[in-house]
Amino acid sequence: MMKLIYTTTSPYARKIRMIILEKDLSERVELQAIDLVADRALLNSVNPLGKVPVLITAQGDVIYDSPVICEYIDSLTAISPVFPAMGAARWEALTDQALADGLLDAAVQIMVLRREMGDAAPEKLVLALDDKIHAALNQMDSRVPAFREAFDIGQMSYIAAIEYLMLRFPKLYWRTGRPSLSLWYDENADRPSAFATRPA
Ligand SMILES: N[C@@H](CCC(=O)N[C@@H](CS)C(=O)NCC(=O)O)C(=O)O
């Protein structure tokens, strides 16, 4: 049995939880939700970077970070592949994942700055991070018309990123000026794998 160490609100871990559902692998993965503060020692003992998600394979190997775990899980069965095998489709999906993950890195950094420094957070840095989030959303909007039919790792990453913004930055109007992304989101947000993993 594999074990996924995660937090219920982590958007990076959410990609993996969605893949597990899309590929019907729930019976093979134990989900261990942890608390980043209370379970810090446990987390640091498996990942020197102290971040979730972490996967412990059935053989006891430790795998991180989320793009690597996603690809590992996808490789376990040929059913419903979420990483296109090769060619342009593969590079596009990987780049879509990198774009959404990069948006999340900026958003998570803002959350950390606000938590640690409150109003004393350096405004210039927060604004620069905010600019990255908006630039990433613009690029996501322009990518939607080129999406292929299969729900791939890129599209899963978009859902995880958008809904993290909705959870943590409710006043960031991600839809404004982004009609393609907005419509695509409305059509895909309630897929069973997305619905079941949505952060409360
Ligand atoms: N590049 C990593 C990012 C993971 C990440 O930033 N996780 C956050 C939670 S959403 C975390 O564990 N933060 C705790 C810390 O950095 O101490 C991935 O894709 O897995």
In this prediction, residue 16 has a pLDDT band, given cuts at 50, 70 and 90, of: very high
Name the one residue in this structure whose structure tokens are 């412990």. 56
Given this model, what pLDDT does residue 97 score?
Answer: 98
How would CATH label the architecture of 2-75? 3-Layer(aba) Sandwich (3.40)
Q: pLDDT of 152-195, one tens digit each?
A: 999 999 999 999 999 999 999 999 999 999 999 999 999 999 99
Given this model, what pLDDT does residue 110 score?
Answer: 98
Share of the chain above pLDDT 70, in %: 100
Concatenated DSSP letters of 30-75? EEEE--TTTTHHHHHHH-TT--S-EEE-TTS-EE-SHHHHHHHHHH
Is residue 200 over pLDDT 90? no
Q: How close is the Cα of 81 to the center of ligand 1, in Å?
A: 25
Query: Which residues lie closer than 8 Å to 144 by C-beta, 6 or more apart?
Result: 180, 181, 183, 184
Length of the chain: 200
Provide the CATH topology of domain 87-192.
Glutathione S-transferase Yfyf (Class Pi); Chain A, domain 2 (1.20.1050)
Question: Nearest-5° angle of CA 167, CA 33, CA 60?
Answer: 135
Residue 10 CA: which ligand 1 atom is closest? 10
Residue nearest to atom 15 of ligand 1 (CA): 51
Residue 65 CA: which ligand 1 atom is closest? 20
Mean pLDDT of 137-165: 97
Mean pLDDT of 25-42: 98
Given this model, what pLDDT does residue 11 score?
Answer: 98
Q: How close is the Cα of 53 to the center of ligand 1, in Å?
A: 7
| Phi, then psi, of 113 in degrees rounded to 5 | -60, -45
Instruction: Tell me, using a 6 A CB cutoff, whether residue 88 lines ligand 1.
Output: no
Instruction: Tell me, using a 6 A CB cutoff, whether residue 71 lines ligand 1.
Output: no
Q: How close is the Cα of 23 to the center of ligand 1, in Å?
A: 24
Range(s) within the chain of domains with CATH label 1.20.1050.10: 87-192
Query: Which residues lie closer than 8 Å to 75 by C-beta, 6 or more apart?
Result: none
- Which among 57, 71, 90 has a CA at the least distance from the CA of 15? 71
The pTM for the full model equals: 0.96
Residue nearest to atom 11 of ligand 1 (CA): 51
Instruction: Tell me, using a 6 A CB cutoff, whether residue 65 lines ligand 1.
Output: yes
The CA dihedral of 10, 13, 14, 16, to the nearest 10 degrees, is 180
Average pLDDT over all residues of the chain = 97
Given this model, what pLDDT does residue 114 score?
Answer: 95
Instruction: Tell me, using a 6 A CB cutoff, whether residue 66 lines ligand 1.
Output: yes
Range(s) within the chain of domains with CATH label 3.40.30.10: 2-75
